[in-house]
């Protein structure tokens, strides 16, 4: 099979022929139809984060395809079933987090495309209990971005506690932000989209944003405070400056939800304003299997739109460059 393989953090990703993997007793073998490109794939390939993946590695945690083989101990899955292979590739299932619906906090988790070979390949193996069924009527190329970008932003909106008629400011309208905007609206929020490019802001307006702010030309804090302040600010841009602007845009009692991971791992937090304003700061990581099932169901109902472009697997290095340059409208998906 063809697979994208990282062989060195300072080397281009290689697309090479490798053996089709065999599923272990509790795994399934999936013939991948589509695999979405996430910025985390680039971090993995470049070794950007403190805990680096073991090489060689096939990245990708937005793989969607059809089960072709099941391990001897697998129950509840069948050959021919279409599934998604998400970031949470495995968790222990027995710790306090797993049994209380917070499996993405499990200390024993293993992540697809980072600790486990991922979906940027024609075939992938995955733990049967951690793949998620894709409903009929949801194309694989649309399900792929929902498997990370969708479930991550859906979870961020959920943990924000956004209530109908509240104001939600989305900082960063791209692969994640265009979906966060839609989920905030599904929850009944009045949305403000903040970005630095007019193309992204035009997309936000097309998707129903009540207000847009071009942070390249206008002060987003002043603009949002002029609207009465945000009840919720969700940050998807990996910049400490944006995190601080989002905090300052909140009204008293507001909630700041951190999703992006700035490279320098810091932000300045004004303690007086946070305490006296009753501001909550919430970290939100990718959602659970149950969250992803809800994301798929919303899309099957026609409640969300995924903006994406397709690429060939052989174009993976060029696709990395597009994402880093910020020239991608929203999401890229490799068709296999």
- What are 156-172's pLDDT values in tens digits? 999 999 999 999 999 99
The DSSP annotation for 64-95 comes to EEEEEEE-TT--S--TT-EEEE-SEEE--S-S
243-252 average pLDDT score = 98
Q: What is the pLDDT of residue 184?
A: 98
Higher pLDDT, 327 or 113: 113
Percent of the chain with pLDDT over 90: 95
109-113: average pLDDT: 98
- Please report which confidence band the pLDDT of residue 265 belongs to, taking 50, 70 and 90 as the band edges: confident
The residue-averaged pLDDT of 239-262 equals: 95
Q: Is 65 exposed, middle or buried (0-12, 13-18, 19+ CB in 10 A)?
A: buried
pLDDT of residue 262: 83
The residue-averaged pLDDT of 109-116 equals 98
Give 137: exposed, middle or buried? Use CB within 10 Å, 0-12, 13-18, 19+: exposed
**pLDDT of res. 326:** 87
Predicted confidence at residue 174, as pLDDT, reads 93
Tell me if the bond preceding 190 is cis, omega within 30° of 0: no
Q: What is the pLDDT of residue 124?
A: 98
Q: Looking up tokens 């009753």, which residue turns up?
A: 278
The confidence score (pLDDT) of residue 264 equals: 81
Report the chain's mean pLDDT, rounded to a whole number: 97
Instruction: Specify the pLDDT at position 35.
Output: 98
Confidence of residue 202 (pLDDT cuts 50, 70, 90): very high
Grade residue 261 by pLDDT with cuts at 50, 70 and 90. confident
Q: What is the mean pLDDT of residues 166-183?
A: 97
Report the interhelical angle of 177-186 vs 151-160 (nearest 10°): 50
Mean pLDDT of 70-79: 97
Cβ pair 86, 130 in contact under 8 A: yes
Burial per residue of 264-284, b for 16 or more beta-carbon CB atoms within 10 angstroms, e otherwise:
eeebeeeeeebeebebeeeeb
pLDDT for the residue numbered 109 = 98
What is the predicted pLDDT for the residue at 52?
95
pLDDT tens-digit series, residues 275-309: 999 999 999 999 999 999 999 999 999 999 999 99
| Sign of the alpha-carbon torsion through 286, 289, 292, 294 | negative
pLDDT tens digits, one per residue of 209-244:
999 999 999 999 999 999 999 999 999 998 999 999
pLDDT for 186: 98
Task: Collapse the DSSP code of 163 into the 3-class scheme (helix H, G, I; strand E, B; otherwise coil) and give the result.
Answer: coil
The CA–CA distances, whole Å, from 147 to 5, 84, 94 equal 21, 7, 24
Q: How would residue 57 be classed by pLDDT, with cut points 50, 70 and 90? A: very high
**Could you tell me the pLDDT band of residue 329, with boundaries at 50, 70 and 90?**
confident
Question: What's the burial of 112, exposed, middle or buried (CB within 10 Å: 0-12/13-18/19+)?
Answer: buried
Secondary structure of 251-265 in the HEC alphabet?
A: EEEEEEEECCCCCCC
Q: What angle do CA 60, 65, 67 make, to 5 degrees?
A: 120
Helix (H, G, I), strand (E, B) or coil at 332: strand
CA 189 remoteness from chain centre? 21
Closest C-alpha among 10, 326, 94 to residue 199: 326
**Which residues have a Cβ under 8 Å from the Cβ of 248 and sit 6 or more positions away?**
221, 270, 273
| 56 class by beta-carbon count within 10 Å (0-12 exposed, 13-18 middle, 19+ buried) | middle
Given a cut of 90, whether residue 254 has pLDDT beyond it is: yes
Residue 251 has pLDDT above 90, yes or no: yes
pLDDT tens digit sequence for 9-44 = 999 999 999 999 999 999 999 999 999 999 999 999
DSSP state of 278: T
Indicate the SS3 state at residue 267.
coil
């Amino acid at each position: 099979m063809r697979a994208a393989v990282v062989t060195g953090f300072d080397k281009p990703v290689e697309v090479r022929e490798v053996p089709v993997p065999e599923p272990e007793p509790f795994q399934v073998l999936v013939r991948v139809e589509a695999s979405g490109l996430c910025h985390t794939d680039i971090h993995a390939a470049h070794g950007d984060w403190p805990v680096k993946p073991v090489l060689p590695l096939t990245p990708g945690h937005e793989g969607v395809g059809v089960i072709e083989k099941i391990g001897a101990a697998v129950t509840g899955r069948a050959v021919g079933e279409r599934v998604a292979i998400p970031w949470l590739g495995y968790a222990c299932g027995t710790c306090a987090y797993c049994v209380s619906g917070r499996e993405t906090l499990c200390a024993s988790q293993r992540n697809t495309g980072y600790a486990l070979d991922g979906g940027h390949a024609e075939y992938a193996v995955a733990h049967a209990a951690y793949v998620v069924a894709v409903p009929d009527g949801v194309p694989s190329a649309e399900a792929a971005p929902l498997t990370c970008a969708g479930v991550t932003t859906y979870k961020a909106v959920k943990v924000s506690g956004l209530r109908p008629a509240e104001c939600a400011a989305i900082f960063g309208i791209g692969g994640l932000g265009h979906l966060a905007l839609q989920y905030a609206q599904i929850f009944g929020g009045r949305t403000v989209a903040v970005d630095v490019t007019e193309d992204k802001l035009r997309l936000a307006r097309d998707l129903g944003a009540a207000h847009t702010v071009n942070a390249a030309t206008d002060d987003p804090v002043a603009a949002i405070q002029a609207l009465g302040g945000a009840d919720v600010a969700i940050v998807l841009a990996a910049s400490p400056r944006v995190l601080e602007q989002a905090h300052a845009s909140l009204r008293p009692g507001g909630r700041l939800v951190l999703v992006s991971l700035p490279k320098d791992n810091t932000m300045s937090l004004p303690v007086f304003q946070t305490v006296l304003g009753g501001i909550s700061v919430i970290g939100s990581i990718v959602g659970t299997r149950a969250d992803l099932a809800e994301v798929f169901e919303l899309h099957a109902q026609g409640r969300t739109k995924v903006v994406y472009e397709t690429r060939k697997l052989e174009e993976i290095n060029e696709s990395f460059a597009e994402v880093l340059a910020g020239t991608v409208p929203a999401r890229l998906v490799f068709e296999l």
